[in-house]
Chain A
Amino acid sequence: MKPVIETIGLTKVFKDFWHRDKVRAVDNLNLTVHGGEVFGLLGPNGSGKTTAIKLMLGLLFPTSGIVRIFGLSPRDSLSKTRVGFLPEESYFYNYLNAGETLDFYGRLFELPSGERKKRGEKLLKMLGLAPSRTRPVGEYSKGMARRIGFAQALINDPDLLILDEATSGLDPVGRREVKDLILKLKKRGKTVFLSSHLLADVEDVCDRIAILYEGRLIAEGKVDELLTMKDVTQISASNISKETVEKVLNIINEEEKGAEAELTKPMESLEEFFLETVHSFESPGGKEQITRTEEAESPPPRKSVIKRLTENE
């Protein structure tokens, strides 16, 4: 089966007015993204993520190397028919409203009138834009603009969705919705290629990631494999006594010389806590509840280390 995205020795050098090399934005990038996977492209600002995406979309031309989308040139109309793209910023006609915007992009895919209308309505409903469908998109908040961006990217029910900083500018609720949407698309067999510098978001949804630094690929692989600490084992248990914990620690100490054992109370991620709090606040009667920790004499530590045993102790 052909890869959905394939880059071979992809290089992009920006030139100055005198045609001298100015910036080597992407340097010999070799990537392969297969159908049905969610692939994350990571890197600090200026690492070449957006340039790589623009090369994959035909908005920039490679200085050298090859980029293929569904085995075709990214400028081929056949490959474009199967791609949805969410740009980093919302680049839309400010005078069109949400309905007109989706209708315009639907026409560019030559969708029949009925199909355009049906898909447009469905997307507006799914992304929570139905109540503001008649407002010009120029009046939208950043979050709403990202949503309409998503809607236009999905209007053709694409096989490949390319998302450039998909969650930037969204509140935690919006970010979670986007991540859920990506996972939903994955379940439907779609391929998602996203770039981000928000590592938590990438970690939550990606099967594989690649890290770019100064245009070069410095890491690539499955998220689980890259993040697994191979020399560390974690034991989880609920409702156990302090004595049992101490016994376990003693066993580890006695049996595994040189091992470092750490006991912690598992914590929710801040995102999970935030979403739970917001949802409970939104539920009936929820507005009466305010979540507060007990007044502590000193601020509670982020990690409550009960005991740390080392060989030297």
Chain B
Amino acid sequence: MKLLAIAINTIRHGMRMKLVIAFVFFLIAVVVSIPFTLESDTQKGKVQITLAYSLSVLNIVLSLLTIFLSTSTFCADIRDKTIFTIDTKPVRRWEVLAGKWVGVVALNMVLLVCAGGAIYGLVKYIARPVEGGEQEQFKIKTQVVTARVETKPKAIEGKKSTFVVLPHHEREWEFHGIKPSEDIIHIKFRNFSSGAPNVEIAGVWTVGNMERGFYRQTTAFPGGTFHEFQVPASVVSPEGRLNVKFMNISPSGVTAIFPHDDVIVLYRAGGFGGNLFRGILLILLRVTFISAVGLASSTFLTFPVATLLSIFVLVMSLSFPFIDALLKQSFLFPEVGLDSGHTGLTTAFVRKFLAAGLKVFPDLRAYDPVPYVVSGILIRWAVVLKGFAAIVLLRCGMIGVIAHLIFNRRELANMGYL
């Protein structure tokens, strides 16, 4: 009951914060204005842009709002000394922390449900049937407003590699475990040409196997972007096996280069609503982590410093792939010993600092729902549960323990803090 009382009070605090109201209005304004400000040649493109921008804006705005909310609710209690009247009641300090965290997360849940509902409605509106747009409607239905399983090719000898297809040569990929629930599947691919970027790569795709027959499709696109084509599901063997072959027939004689994971088989496994819901849950995982960081930093810092620290942690967690890539670029941060002089020492320190960051901060990019939802790719419950374990149970748990240790040792009536 005590925890709930503090949580409800935190929600009340949030509802009365002018900043929260401003953020909510900003969010509504941005989401609603997206379809009217962004242009796309196709209806499918418009739906995808709307989804991408609205979910990205929601992600960013809610993360910042959560930082302000979690740091202000705690710091205001300490600054205004309201904490005196709470700490002198039979409430343990971890209950104060947990109550505030639950309150911030609950408020975020409400905002996410509202925003998710608005995005769903907006997408349905933009994707509504228009006269003469049956083909586009079909594309939206099968490639965007859906949830498809993504199957990657079987790795050759357990190694990933880039495939080069010379003119008039072919390359074959083997897929396993395909269980289509509808009568069509999709092949999604991206290749790069050895020539100028705008040169088209033409090819003949042969999909199927000896058992169930073959389906052929000719494609011709400039390289660098993903493209999709449909294939009848009947070509998949009963065991779920499928072979996909590409023959390079480019008249310009360019070589087609396929990165290993850039030929994918897709098939429907769920609806758009459920997928968007799981996407919203992934955003909730992010704000759950951020609220824990905000509250933890408020246990020993004042509002502006706690806010800055929380923003730093958010940026670090979002820069995960970038930092990882930086560390792998040995010319940027060469691995040197600590005895290599001043420059070496600095580099070694930066390297160790960034490497430690990778271990401590969760990779929030890995739980970004935007690429999934925009391409109609199924967000599996396993991903959500893995995120819950990695972010909420592990990271938030660790942060909670540290925050409790700091807060429990803090003299609340002693104001000598940063």
A residues touching B (Cβ–Cβ < 8 Å)? 14-15, 17, 54, 57-61, 77-78, 80-81, 83, 85, 87, 89, 91-93, 95-96, 104-105, 107-110, 152, 156
Contact sample, A vs B, 8 pairs, CB 8 Å cutoff: A15-B416, A58-B88, A59-B87, A78-B90, A93-B12, A107-B2, A108-B6, A110-B90
Closest CB in chain B relative to A102 CB, distance in Å: 12
Inter-subunit contact B92/A77 (CB<8 Å): yes
> Is the pair A96, B12 in contact by a Cβ cutoff of 8 Å?
yes
* Contacts A83-B88, A95-B16 known; 20 new A-B pairs at CB < 8 A: A14-B416, A59-B87, A59-B88, A59-B412, A59-B413, A60-B414, A61-B411, A77-B90, A77-B91, A77-B92, A81-B90, A87-B81, A87-B84, A89-B81, A92-B82, A93-B12, A105-B85, A105-B89, A108-B6, A152-B85
Chain A's closest residue to B4 (CB) is A107
- Which residue on A lies nearest to B99, using beta carbons? A108
- Beta-carbon contact of B90 and A108 below 8 Å: yes
| Residues of chain A within 8 A of B87, CB atoms compared | 57-59
Docked complex Cα distance between A13 and B12 (Å): 38
Q: Is the CB of A80 within 8 A of B84?
A: no
Q: In the bound complex, do residue B81 and residue A91 qualify as a contact, i.e. CB atoms below 8 Å apart?
A: yes
In the complex, A77→B416 CA distance in Å?
26
Query: B410 CB to closest chain A CB, in angstroms?
Result: 9
Does B227 touch A at the CB level, under 8 Å?
A: no
Chain A positions within 8 Å of B16 at CB level: 95
Indicate the member of A85, A96, A108 with the most B CB atoms within 10 Å.
A108
Pick the contact of A85 from B6, B13, B88 — CB < 8 Å?
B88
A17-B416, A87-B84, A92-B85 given; A109·B90 CB < 8 A = yes
Whether A108 touches B12, Cβ cut-off 8 Å, given contacts A14-B414, A59-B412, A91-B84, is: no
Give every chain B residue within 8 A of A54 (Cβ-Cβ): 413
B131 touches A (CB below 8 Å): no
- Identify which of A108, A110, A156 contacts B86 (C-beta below 8 A): A108
User: Is the CB–CB distance between A57 and B5 below 8 Å?
Assistant: no
How many angstroms between the C-alpha atoms of A156 and B82 in the bound complex?
18
**Which residues of chain B come closer than 8 Å to A95, judged between CB atoms?**
12-13, 16
Closest chain A residue, CB of each to CB of B87: A59
How distant is the Cα of A77 from the Cα of B86 in the complex, in angstroms? Answer: 12
Q: Roughly how many angstroms separate A110 CA and B95 CA in the complex, as a whole number?
A: 13
CA distance A59 to B86 in the complex (A): 11
Using CB atoms, name the residue of chain A closest to B15: A95
**A85 x B85 contact (CB < 8 A):** yes
Give Cα distance in the complex from A17 to B414, angstroms: 12
Q: Which residues of A contact B375 (CB under 8 A)?
A: none
Query: Is the beta-carbon distance between A93 and B411 smaller than 8 angstroms?
Result: no
The answer for the CA separation of A108 and B93 in the assembled complex, in Å, is: 12
Does B9 belong to the interface (CB within 8 Å)?
yes
Closest beta carbon of chain B to A108's beta carbon, Å: 4
The answer to whether B80 has its CB under 8 Å from any CB of chain A is: yes
Query: With A95-B12, A104-B5, A107-B4 in contact, is A57–B88 under 8 Å at CB?
Result: yes
Contact A104 B84 (CB under 8 A): no
Decide if B1 is an interface residue (CB 8 Å cutoff): yes
Q: Which residues of B contact A93 (CB under 8 A)?
A: 9, 12-13, 82
Tell me the smallest distance from the CB of B102 to a CB of chain A, in Å: 14
A105 to B90, CA, bound (A): 10
Please determine whether A109 and B89 come into contact, CB atoms closer than 8 angstroms. yes
Closest chain B residue to A74 by CB distance?
B88
Distance, CA A96 to CA B10, complexed state (A): 12
B9: chain A residues within 8 A (beta carbon) = 93, 96, 104
B377-418 interface with A by 8 A CB criterion: 411-414, 416
Which chain B residues border A57 with CB–CB below 8 Å?
84, 87-88
- CA gap between A34 and B77 in the complex, in Å: 33
Chain A residues lying within 8 Å of B1, measured Cβ to Cβ, are 107, 110
Residues 1-23 of chain B, each 1 if its beta carbon lies under 8 Å from chain A, else 0:
11011100100110010000000
Which residues of B (1-59) have their CB < 8 Å from a CB of A? 1-2, 4-6, 9, 12-13, 16
- Most interface-central of B1, B80, B89 (chain A CB within 10 A): B89
- The answer to whether B80 and A91 touch across the interface, beta carbons within 8 angstroms, is yes
Complex CA–CA separation, A83 to B92 (angstroms)? 15
Nearest to B9 among chain A residues (CB) is A104
- B89 and A108 form a contact (CB under 8 A): yes
Give, as a whole number of angstroms, the nearest-CB distance from A114 to chain B: 14
| A22–chain B nearest beta-carbon distance, Å | 9
- Closest chain-B Cβ to A145's Cβ sits at a distance in Å of 12
Distance in angstroms between the alpha carbons of A92 and B89 in the assembled complex = 14
The distance from the CB of B15 to the nearest CB of chain A, in whole angstroms, is 9
Name B408's closest neighbour in chain A (CB-CB). Answer: A75
Taken together as a complex, chains A and B put the C-alpha atoms of A96 and B16 apart, in Å, by 11
Q: How far is the CA of A14 from the CA of B1 in the complex (A)?
A: 36
Q: Which chain B positions have C-beta within 8 A of A89?
A: 81
Interfacial chain A residues near B90, Cβ < 8 Å? 77-78, 80-81, 108-110
**Closest Cβ–Cβ distance, residue A180 to chain B (whole Å):** 24
Using known A-B contacts A95-B12, A110-B2, determine if residue A80 contacts B88 with beta carbons closer than 8 Å.
Answer: yes
How far is B2's CA from A143's CA once the two chains are assembled, in angstroms? 29
Residues of B within 8 A of A156 (CB): 89
Complex-state Cα separation, A93 to B81, whole angstroms: 10
Q: CB-CB < 8 A to A78: which residues of B?
A: 90
- Bound: A294/B411 CA distance, A: 59
Q: How far is the CB of B83 from chain A (nearest CB, A)?
A: 8
Which B residues touch A108, using CB under 8 A?
2, 5-6, 86, 89-91
Docked CA distance A92–B416 (Å): 22
CB-nearest residue of chain B to A85: B88
Chain B minimum-CB-distance residue to A100: B12
With both chains docked as a complex, state the minimum distance between the C-beta of A119 and any C-beta of chain B, in angstroms.
Answer: 14
How distant is A57 from chain B, measured CB to nearest CB, in Å? Answer: 5
Nearest residue in A to B6 (C-beta to C-beta)?
A: A108
Instruction: Give the contacts of B65-100 with A (CB-CB under 8 A).
Output: 80-82, 84-92
Q: Which residues of B contact A85 (CB under 8 A)?
A: 84-85, 88
| Whole-angstrom distance between the Cβ of A86 and the nearest chain B Cβ | 9
Most chain A CB within a 10 A radius of its CB, from B88, B91, B92, B413: B88
- Residue picked from A57, A77, A92, A107, most chain B C-beta under 10 Å: A107
The minimal Cβ–Cβ distance linking A300 to chain B, given in whole angstroms, is 47
Complex contacts, B416 vs chain A, CB 8 Å: 14-15, 17
Residue among B2, B82, B85, B87 with the highest chain A CB neighbour number at 10 A: B85
Q: Is B82 within 8 A of A91, CB to CB? A: yes
* B118-143 to A contact mask, C-beta < 8 Å, 1/0: 00000000000000000000000000
Give, as a whole number of angstroms, the nearest-CB distance from B193 to chain A. Answer: 63
